[in-house]
Amino acid sequence: MSKVMSFTKDSELPPGQTVDVSTSPAEAPATEIPTRPANEETAVAVRRPSEHTIFNDRAIGFDEIKLSRINIVQKVGDLSNIFNQGEIVLDQQQVIHTPASKNGPGEPPLKVTVLGFKRTIFVEKVEGGVGGLRAKTEDEVVRLGGTLDYEEHHASGKKMPLFQPMETALLLIEKPDEFADPDHTVYPFECEGRRYMMVLWSMKGAAYTDGAKVFFTARKHGILRDIKDASGKVIDGGFPTHSYALTTKLKPFRTGNFAHVPVLTAGPKNSETFRRFVNDLLGIEA
């Protein structure tokens, strides 16, 4: 059975569990320093740690690393000046998926597996989707003079900032066959002959509705739900249980606006070997 992965720190992590990838610090080398002989027949040597032990392999936690991120290119924002709308880009630098569009059939969907989510935060809805206030809780939204209700926001003459939930998922993305990565710098992890990379994906607005809610629904009532035996013990289920196919599409809204949203389709169940690989990757004991 694969355990559910969730972040607990605000830095770069998926509610309820801490992830730590660590190694043991290397033992400090010692230098032999001879002392003055106590007498002509006796020579005593003592060992003390070297002063040059700053370059060691230290324990590194998830809160100390910078994970890559993926974004969907929209019609506004800096990414739209560089990439095509609807493309999924890595670290705002490299296209990893081009969806079908009026220009062509696009590439096959990405195969992704959710490992878990960070805690929910709330972000101010602003023009262009960049910047704005952030709050860790709904109470903090109120303290900032904001609201989560559009009608209240509208009734205030838009003087009350409108906040919306943002969910950040930790994903494993399988390398597409057509993606060139001969030195495994983009997809560094290997399992069952396939390569993977681990990324963060933040979803708000339409992406929250068509992305995060799809995973949450499957976790609560669908293929990712907990499976229990006759005694009530959980024997299967969790976010890493199944993979999903991910692409994007252009979606119209009642306001007359359009946005590229994620399209997620449930894929095959992940193997036990893959789920052991996930646990090992995240430092979770099975």
Cβ-Cβ contacts under 8 Å for 158 (sequence gap 6 or more): none
Tell me the CA end-to-end span of the chain in Å, nearest whole number. 7
Identify the CA nearest to 234 among candidates 24, 2, 9, 50: 2
- Name the DSSP letter for residue 3: P
The confidence score (pLDDT) of residue 8 equals: 42
The confidence score (pLDDT) of residue 48 equals: 65
The confidence score (pLDDT) of residue 127 equals: 77
Are 35 and 75 in contact, with CB atoms under 8 Å apart?
no
- The parts of the chain modelled with pLDDT lower than 70 are 1-58, 128-130, 286
The confidence score (pLDDT) of residue 64 equals: 82
Residue 202 has phi, psi (to 5 degrees) of -90, 130
Burial of residue 39, with CB atoms counted within 10 A of its CB: 0-12 exposed, 13-18 middle, 19 or more buried: exposed
The confidence score (pLDDT) of residue 13 equals: 45
Every domain of the chain and the residues it spans: 53-119+170-282
The confidence score (pLDDT) of residue 257 equals: 87
The confidence score (pLDDT) of residue 126 equals: 86
**Beta-bridge partners for 234:** 228
Count of CB atoms situated within 10 Å of the CB of 259: 21
The confidence score (pLDDT) of residue 113 equals: 98
The confidence score (pLDDT) of residue 137 equals: 96
pLDDT in tens, 67-84: 999 999 999 888 999 999
Distance between CA atoms of 32 and 111, rounded to whole angstroms?
Answer: 56
Name the pairing type of β-strands 227-228 and 88-90.
Answer: unpaired
The confidence score (pLDDT) of residue 45 equals: 61
Q: What is the mean pLDDT of the chain?
A: 85
Task: Map tokens 């013990």 to a residue.
Answer: 233
**What ranges in the chain are assigned the alpha helix state H?**
138-143, 150-155, 206-207, 213-221, 272-282
- Quick one: CA dihedral 169, 174, 177, 181, positive or negative? positive
Distance between CA atoms of 68 and 198, rounded to whole angstroms?
Answer: 7
